[in-house]
């Protein structure tokens, strides 16, 4: 039996820390190649390290997964690989449907392979490495032949996803990387949102059998002892209630032996008719749910062909938060057709009020992905395209704007929306408007499962707030309540006084606040070693003459305590 041919599958990026992800699609593909008799190797990460792996492994062919962000990078790497090793280079991935002859010419890439390539890639490798088969019979292929750009018929859609092998994580070149976080339970999406890349076969929904999905999860948990958070990558995981219930039953069994939580995406227009499934999902470990909103303007949502109403979104977010879901993630697109920032800002404030501490909002610029209506017919949406090659713009500068607005104006719109998001959050935090239980869930999500919401980040950015809630999270203190037990409650500072207190102006200053003698003496005594009653008695003997009677002093004493608590300076424990 001859030596197996090595196929290096790559996902490279300078923009993202790719070692933090699984790139499960490459490993599903590696499983197929291994089954077909090849030796697949998977690389993901810093492109500068790719050449070292080329030297070490000497692959017979290199395949790149191409997206909007790394297309230029791949073109440069392909030229270097072709110059040094002169081996066949194949490019697939979501961007492949937009790649044409000019890309092949400037990159020295040999083949573009579109769609789901688990069937077509082995056939292509047989043809170019083993000289078995005809290139013209391979669906979804594009190449240059006799200086002519040749495209075969559309890609083949894989109907039976259960026929695919499980991800071959053992093919990774990153031996210290633990896998299993990402999983697909199906492919395809019945919706046709104007901004979403319509990859071949996407509109046809195909689902894996749930026992096989659960088997993969159990295998991933076995192989990765630290795995405690699973991300379901499907566009339409929540399309079928019965299937969700079957998954939840399986996860409940898994969670009896292992603390594992999960994430999925959800189309509000679909799930709104049976929202009562959410408690079941939460009980089964759902911790973060992504919903698509995109805009606060119903006209824009309709132009995007979202099939959802703003009122439904508000109702769903409110219900999900009230039900106890830890995080609801969402995104607002900036720079869309007829976009009115005011409408989106208003919806952001509404959602923040309905789900404080739970709704996790980010923004992003509208992109014109290959095959989308926005790229093919921007005039229909009164849009204009900029930098179609993606050479100048990351997500830090807009690709698309309304015809009457400049890129700088759209960038300012995004700045304004992010300002609304942060100010809405900061107001809730500053005014103690977040329920303690909600904040504790954010802390657990971040510190146990590594899922850091913007709420957690906002709290973390303020040392005093973070230290306060961290004490509560560790159960080393309690928040002050309206009724205080002066005999059993022991107040304690949430910070180290020497790091925080200054006397640069001749009097004590704490977090920019000048303290009166009474306030200073009180904060000194809040060390968790004496009861409120003992502290009050001592301070009354020292400052009592300035008050009409002990009752008036008591009122002032309690006011100061609650001021300190409001500033996140104090918690207490009860003995």
Are both 218 and 334 inside the same structural domain? yes
Rounded Cα distance, 70 and 364, in Å: 18
Are both 235 and 331 inside the same structural domain? yes
- Between β-strands 383-385 and 148-151, what pairing exists: parallel, antiparallel or unpaired? unpaired
pLDDT under 70 in the chain at which residues? 1-2, 15-21, 199-202, 388-394
- Whether 41 and 6 have beta carbons less than 8 Å apart is answered as yes
92 within domain boundaries: yes
Last residue of a domain, one of 415, 433, 451: 433
Count of the separate structural domains present in the chain: 3
Which residues pair with residue 182 across a beta bridge? 231
Are both 123 and 185 inside the same structural domain? no
440 within domain boundaries: no
443 within domain boundaries: no
Residue 241: other Cβ atoms inside 10 A: 15
The CATH number for 320's domain is 3.80.30.20
Are both 118 and 210 inside the same structural domain? no
pLDDT tens profile 518-564:
999 999 999 999 999 999 999 999 999 999 999 999 999 999 999 99
Are both 194 and 146 inside the same structural domain? no
Q: Reading across the β-sheet that carries 501-502, which strands appear in turn? A: 501-502, 509-510, 513-514
Are both 406 and 494 inside the same structural domain? no
**Cα–Cα separations (whole angstroms), residue 556 to 507, 544, 559:** 21, 11, 5
Given this model, what pLDDT does residue 490 score? Answer: 96
- Whether 456 and 462 have beta carbons less than 8 Å apart is answered as no
287 within domain boundaries: yes
Given this model, what pLDDT does residue 269 score? Answer: 87
- Whether 185 and 28 have beta carbons less than 8 Å apart is answered as no
DSSP 554-570: HHHHHHHHHHHHHTT-E
Coil, helix or strand at residue 237 = helix
463 within domain boundaries: no
Task: Provide, rounded to the nearest whole percent, the portion of the chain with pLDDT above 70.
Answer: 96
247 within domain boundaries: yes
Are both 220 and 331 inside the same structural domain? yes
Are both 185 and 325 inside the same structural domain? yes
Measuring CA to CA, which residue among 277, 166, 268, 187 is closest to residue 232?
A: 187
Given this model, what pLDDT does residue 192 score? Answer: 82
Q: What is the dihedral of CA 398, 402, 403, 405, to 10 degrees?
A: -70
The CATH number for 17's domain is 3.40.50.280
267 within domain boundaries: yes
Given this model, what pLDDT does residue 483 score? Answer: 84
HSE-CB at 494 with a 13 A cutoff on CA atoms is 28
Last residue of a domain, one of 151, 172, 202: 151
236 Cβ neighbours under 8 A, 6+ residues apart: 186, 188, 189, 190, 191, 205, 265, 267, 270
Given this model, what pLDDT does residue 197 score? Answer: 77
Measuring CA to CA, which residue among 41, 24, 20 is closest to residue 219?
A: 24
Q: What is the dihedral of CA 49, 54, 57, 63, to 10 degrees?
A: 100
Given this model, what pLDDT does residue 16 score? Answer: 56
Helix residue spans in 324-432 (DSSP H): 341-354, 373-376, 407-430
551 Cβ neighbours under 8 A, 6+ residues apart: none
pLDDT tens profile 149-174:
999 999 989 999 999 999 999 999 99
Are both 271 and 342 inside the same structural domain? yes
Helix residue spans in 272-384 (DSSP H): 278-283, 298-303, 310-323, 341-354, 373-376
Given this model, what pLDDT does residue 153 score? Answer: 94
> How many helical (H) and strand (E) elements, i.e. helices and strands, does the chain have?
21, 22
* Residue at token pair 């020497």: 498
Which residues form the domain of 346?
A: 180-433
To 5 degrees, how large is the angle CA 121–CA 191–CA 243?
80
């Amino acid at each position: 039996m001859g030596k197996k041919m090595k196929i290096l599958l790559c996902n490279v990026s300078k923009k993202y820390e790719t070692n933090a992800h699984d790139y499960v699609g490459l490993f599903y593909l590696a499983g197929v190649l291994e089954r077909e008799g090849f030796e697949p190797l998977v690389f993901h990460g810093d492109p500068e390290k790719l050449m070292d792996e080329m030297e070490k492994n000497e692959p017979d062919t290199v395949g790149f997964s191409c997206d909007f962000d790394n297309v230029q990078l791949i073109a440069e790497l392909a030229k270097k690989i072709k110059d040094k090793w002169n081996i066949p280079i194949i490019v697939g991935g979501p961007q492949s449907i937009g790649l044409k002859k000019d890309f092949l010419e400037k990159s020295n890439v040999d083949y573009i392979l579109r769609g789901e390539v688990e069937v077509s890639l082995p056939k292509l490798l047989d043809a170019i490495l083993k000289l078995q088969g005809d290139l013209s019979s391979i669906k979804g292929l594009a190449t240059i032949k006799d200086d002519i750009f040749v495209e075969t018929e559309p890609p083949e859609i894989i109907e039976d996803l259960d026929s695919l092998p499980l991800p071959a994580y053992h093919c990774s070149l990153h031996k210290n990387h633990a896998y299993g976080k990402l999983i697909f339970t199906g492919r395809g999406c019945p919706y046709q949102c104007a901004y979403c890349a319509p990859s071949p076969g996407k509109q046809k929904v195909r689902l894996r059998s749930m026992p096989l999905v659960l088997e993969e999860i159990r295998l991933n948990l076995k192989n990765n002892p630290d795995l405690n958070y699973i991300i379901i990558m499907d566009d339409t995981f929540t399309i079928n209630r019965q299937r969700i219930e079957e998954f939840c039953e399986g996860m409940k069994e898994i969670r009896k032996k292992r603390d594992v939580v999960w994430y999925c995406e959800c189309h509000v227009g679909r799930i709104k008719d049976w929202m009562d499934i959410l408690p079941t999902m939460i009980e089964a470990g759902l911790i973060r749910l992504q919903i698509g909103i995109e805009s606060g303007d119903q006209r824009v949502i309709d132009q995007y062909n979202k099939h959802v109403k703003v009122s439904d979104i508000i109702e769903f977010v409110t219900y999900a938060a009230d039900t106890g879901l830890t995080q609801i993630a969402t995104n607002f697109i900036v720079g869309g057709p007829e976009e009115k920032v005011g409408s989106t800002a208003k919806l952001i404030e509404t959602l923040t009020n309905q789900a404080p501490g739970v709704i996790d909002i980010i923004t992003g610029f509208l992109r014109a992905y290959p095959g989308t209506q926005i790229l093919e017919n921007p005039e229909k949406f009164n849009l204009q395209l900029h930098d179609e090659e993606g050479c100048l713009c990351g997500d830090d500068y807009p690709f698309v704007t309304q015809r009457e607005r400049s890129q700088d104006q759209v960038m300012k719109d995004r700045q304004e929306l992010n300002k609304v998001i942060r100010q809405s959050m900061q107001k809730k935090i500053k005014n103690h408007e977040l329920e303690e239980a909600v904040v504790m869930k954010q802390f657990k999500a971040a510190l146990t499962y590594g899922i850091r919401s913007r709420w957690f980040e906002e709290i973390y950015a303020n040392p005093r707030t973070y230290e306060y809630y961290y004490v509560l999270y560790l159960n080393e203190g309690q928040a002050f309540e309206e009724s205080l037990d002066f005999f059993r409650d022991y107040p304690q500072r949430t910070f180290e006084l020497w790091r925080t207190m200054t006397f640069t102006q001749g009097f004590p200053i704490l977090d920019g606040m000048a303290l009166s003698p009474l306030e200073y003496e009180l904060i000194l005594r809040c060390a968790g070693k004496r009861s409120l009653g003992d502290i009050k008695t001592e301070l009354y003997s020292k400052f009592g003459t300035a008050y009409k009677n002990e009752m008036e002093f008591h009122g002032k004493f309690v006011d100061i305590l609650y001021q300190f608590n409001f500033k996140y300076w104090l918690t207490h424990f009860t003995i």
